[in-house]
Amino acid sequence: MDKQKKTIKQFEKIKIDKSWSFIEKTRKETSYLSHGYHRYPAKFIPQIVERLVKKYTREGDLVVDPFGGCGTTLVESKVLGRESVGVDINPVAVLITKAKITPINLLDLEEAFVDLKYKLDSYNSETKINVPKHDRIDYWFKTENKRKLAFISQKISKIKDQDIRDFFYCGLSNILKNCSIWLQKSNKPTRDFDKKPSDPFKIFIRHVNSMLRGNIEFYELLKHRGFLKTKCKVQCTDARKIPAKNNSVSLVVTSPPYVTSYEYADLHQLTALWFKYIKDLSDFRKRFIGTSHHNKKELKLNSIIAEDIKNSLLEKDKKTAEEVATYFSEMNEVFIEMKRMLKKGGRTCIVIGNTSLKGVEILNAEVFAEQLQNLGFKIDNIIKREIPSKNLPSIRNEKTGRFAKVGDKNKKYAYPTEYILVMKKI
């Protein structure tokens, strides 16, 4: 049988492993330590990373996340005494991660917060403030909130200690959406003219108070375990340019972006604009893997399954076919980078689900497994897990596993699933 058919068959046989769903974990437990500092779309729960890091590494080993997002892998590695490096192309992700991996002395932070609150109290509608001038900021914020946010930002910028400054900037970034007219429930940039935006001062202070609790928990745990100084670094760069030496990494844990699913550039535009990380969105978008705003270039898919998907899509929609092919080709480049930095016998754990576009199944997990095998990895384990969701689970046919009609007698409620691909460098 062809190798790619064997890979597909292998995936079909995998049963859900409930022990990886962590269904019993409460929101409090998944946002413990510094994990609750900032919302982030498609972040994975810390318990997955913790289990993988414990299983595949020892204290002092190096762990890498090439799509670091808000830093889940780095925080978990640090509390387990593993050195870690994370990168992300999104400067907003890097700001959040920086704050989340930096435990701060409790008294220093308390003192800085008391001082900041005192300064914020001096605000009134006459206070002179330099409000950032940008038509996208005017698009999202009403005048009074813009003034108050600029005032908070101005006062934070005066704090001397960079770690403390970044901690508060992270808090400010997290409240921007609530203070804007961005439709609160939506991840898509949609304006809601009926929304009553939150008062920046009140929500900032409330959120920072919860971050302070996270910092105490994080600081105390690291101190107790003797890992306060464990190396942990984040850099704003591309997943194909990781700052790690050849053959130096024991484990990669990551959840990659999906093709045309989230446009991270659009999603994080409030912070990116407010903190002047970007001038215009169109250039920012092109840097992301999975975007639909890419430039054309030569592609190497390195997977027959990916070629088949592309060909099926070509029959439906040329643009989508190109986007998916670009995505697989860029992911293949990321896997080449993983191979470079991983030690022989080191593993990469990729958390990924499959999707469907224009009626074609996009078998991300199968494609990644094939690409990685072609590059010199072997399948070590494939875990299939349910993604517990607060929303009603979908209805599936118990026999076929496919989505079922309401009248289907074999119907059963099911959560969406995803895979954890564990691939070993040989």
Ligand X SMILES: C[S@@+](CC[C@H](N)C(=O)[O-])C[C@H]1O[C@@H](n2cnc3c(N)ncnc32)[C@H](O)[C@@H]1O
Nearest to 243 by CA among 66, 95, 110: 66
Which is nearer to ligand X, 74 or 156 (by Cβ)? 74
Q: Which of 32, 37, 42, 52 binds ligand X (CB under 6 A)?
A: 42
CA angle 322, 6, 382 (to 5 degrees): 85
Which is nearer to ligand X, 44 or 151 (by Cβ)? 44
Under the binding rule (CB under 6 A), the answer on residue 321 touching ligand X is no
| 190, 215 contact by CB (below 8 A) | no
Under the binding rule (CB under 6 A), the answer on residue 255 touching ligand X is yes
Q: Which of 11, 20, 69, 370 binds ligand X (CB under 6 A)?
A: 69
Q: Which of 72, 215, 269, 302 binds ligand X (CB under 6 A)?
A: 72
Residues 6+ apart with CB under 8 A from 184: 177, 178, 192, 195
Q: Please state, in angstroms and rounded to a whole number, the distance separating the CA atoms of residues 421 and 379.
A: 8
Which is nearer to ligand X, 35 or 146 (by Cβ)? 35
Under the binding rule (CB under 6 A), the answer on residue 53 touching ligand X is no
Under the binding rule (CB under 6 A), the answer on residue 7 touching ligand X is no
Parallel, antiparallel or unpaired: strands 342-352 and 417-425: antiparallel
Which is nearer to ligand X, 128 or 296 (by Cβ)? 296
**Considering CB under 6 A, how many residues would be counted as binding ligand X?**
20
Tell me which residues in 286-315 interact with ligand X (CB under 6 A): 288-289
Q: Please state, in angstroms and rounded to a whole number, the distance separating the CA atoms of residues 92 and 96.
A: 6
- Compute how many other C-beta atoms are within 10 angstroms of the C-beta atom of residue 286: 11
Q: Shortest approach of ligand X to residue 314 CB, angstroms?
A: 24
Q: Contact region for ligand X (CB under 6 A) — 20-28, 69-77, 112-120, 295-303?
A: 69-77
Q: Shortest approach of ligand X to residue 172 CB, angstroms?
A: 19
Interaction mask 258-287, ligand X, x per CB under 6 A: ------x-----------------------
Residues 6+ apart with CB under 8 A from 369: 7, 11, 379, 382, 421, 423
C-alpha dihedral (309, 311, 316, 317), degrees to nearest 10: 90
Under the binding rule (CB under 6 A), the answer on residue 346 touching ligand X is no
Which is nearer to ligand X, 179 or 239 (by Cβ)? 239
Under the binding rule (CB under 6 A), the answer on residue 67 touching ligand X is yes
Q: Please state, in angstroms and rounded to a whole number, the distance separating the CA atoms of residues 38 and 339.
A: 31
Amino acid occupying residue 335 = F
Which is nearer to ligand X, 322 or 408 (by Cβ)? 322
Residue that the structure tokens 């989505």 belong to: 403
| 193, 181 contact by CB (below 8 A) | yes
87 bridge partner residues: 235
Under the binding rule (CB under 6 A), the answer on residue 239 touching ligand X is yes
Q: Which of 197, 214, 257, 346 binds ligand X (CB under 6 A)?
A: 257
Q: Shortest approach of ligand X to residue 285 CB, angstroms?
A: 10
Closest CB to ligand X: residue number:
69
Tell me which residues in 87-116 interact with ligand X (CB under 6 A): 87-90, 93
* 29, 42, 304, 365, 393 from 422: Cα distances, Å: 25, 20, 20, 11, 27
Residues 6+ apart with CB under 8 A from 251: 52, 53, 56, 57, 61, 62, 63, 64, 82, 346, 347, 348, 349
Amino acid occupying residue 84 = S
Which is nearer to ligand X, 30 or 145 (by Cβ)? 30
Which is nearer to ligand X, 87 or 324 (by Cβ)? 87
Q: Shortest approach of ligand X to residue 96 CB, angstroms?
A: 8
Q: Shortest approach of ligand X to residue 232 CB, angstroms?
A: 15
Residues in contact with ligand X by the rule CB under 6 A: 40, 42-44, 67, 69-70, 72, 87-90, 93, 238-239, 255, 257, 264, 288-289
